[in-house]
Amino acid sequence: MTSLPPVPGAVRTEVARDGETIVFVQRERLLEAMTWLKETPGQEFDYLVDVTAVEFRDRERPLEVVYFLRSLKRRADIRIKVELNAADELAVDSVFHLWQGADWLEREVFDMFGITFRGHPDLRRILMWETYAEGYPLRKSFPLRGRFSRAEQVRQALNTNPEANYSLEELSIAEAAGDLPDDMRDRLRRGERGVIPDPPNP
């Protein structure tokens, strides 16, 4: 192993098969490392290419959150990884305040892997609907065909209350404008937004 790069919190480095440098960073110091990478002269990684996560088939291996950074000025790339043990809390700090492009990317990782990004202003599901109850699709423990049967999925889709199709932000706008129907407001007050009622007995 070569000497560690001067990134704060760097644990070790690797070289990917495409020749890119991967720097593993301590989870606690991720935000510090990212700020350093973005703002230090000579680094200037001003462009966030992608954020994603990897879970290995070997369940013992920790999950990885992967950040692809690019310096448009220097035309250079770097890859930053944070390792998360599945047994611990799956959470890292959000980089939203450094790159706004992280907004939807982090939401997608949260949606697909269940990794929480602390400090993200609007962390909710993005590809699956907000009341989706089957878990996190890209985790290895998630079966390919989903957890619920097709019949159960259809039943849930047909029986959901209309408020499940709107985000809480939208519902609060409608509430402020006085446009929220009474039954929806009552259910929301009772905390029943994600609850799917059973079909009435014949």
Partner 1 sequence: MSKRTVELELATPGVDAEGRATRVPLTEAAEPGLAEEHMLVNIGPQHPATHGVLRLVVELDGETVVRCIPHLGYLHSGFEKLGEYRHYNQIIPLTDRTDYLSPMANNVGFALAAEKLMGIEITPRCTVLRVIACEMSRIISHMVWLGTTSIDLGAFTPFLWAFQERERIYDLQEMWTGARLTTSLTRVGGLMADIPDNFVDKLRDFIRTFPKTLGEIDRVLTRNAVWAGRTQGVGALTAAEAINHSLSGPMLRASGVAYDVRKDKPYLGYETYDFDVVVGEHGDVFDRYLVRLEECHQSNRILQQALDRLPEGPINVDDPRVILPSKTRAMSDMEAMIFHFKQVMEGVKAPVGEAYVGIENPKGELGTYLVSDGTAKPVRWRIRPPSFINLSALPRMAQGHLLSDLIAINASVDIVMGEVDR
Footprint of partner 1 on this chain (CB under 8 A)? 16-18, 20, 46-50, 52, 54-58, 66, 68, 72, 75, 77, 79, 99-105, 108, 112, 126-129, 137-138, 142, 144, 165-167, 169-170, 173-174, 176-177, 179
Least distance between partner 1 and beta carbon 201 (Å) = 32
Least distance between partner 1 and beta carbon 162 (Å) = 11
Show the beta-strand stretches assigned E in the chain.
10-15, 21-25, 47-54, 63-71, 76-84, 91-93, 116-118
Least distance between partner 1 and beta carbon 114 (Å) = 14
27: nearest Cα among 88, 86, 92, 79: 92
Q: Which is nearer to partner 1, 144 or 151 (CB)?
A: 144
Least distance between partner 1 and beta carbon 72 (Å) = 6
Radius of gyration of the chain measured on its C-alpha atoms: 21
Q: Which is nearer to partner 1, 34 or 126 (CB)?
A: 126
Q: Which is nearer to partner 1, 58 or 198 (CB)?
A: 58
Decide: residue 47, CB within 10 A, 0-12 exposed, 13-18 middle, 19+ buried. Answer: middle
Q: How far is CA 71 from the centre of its chain?
A: 23
Q: Which is nearer to partner 1, 41 or 199 (CB)?
A: 41
| Backbone φ and ψ of 26, nearest 5° | -60, 140
Q: Which is nearer to partner 1, 6 or 143 (CB)?
A: 143
- How many helices, marked H, and strands, marked E, lie in the chain? 5, 7
Least distance between partner 1 and beta carbon 91 (Å) = 20
Q: For residues 149 and 133, give the distance between their C-alpha atoms in angstroms, rounded to a whole number.
A: 13
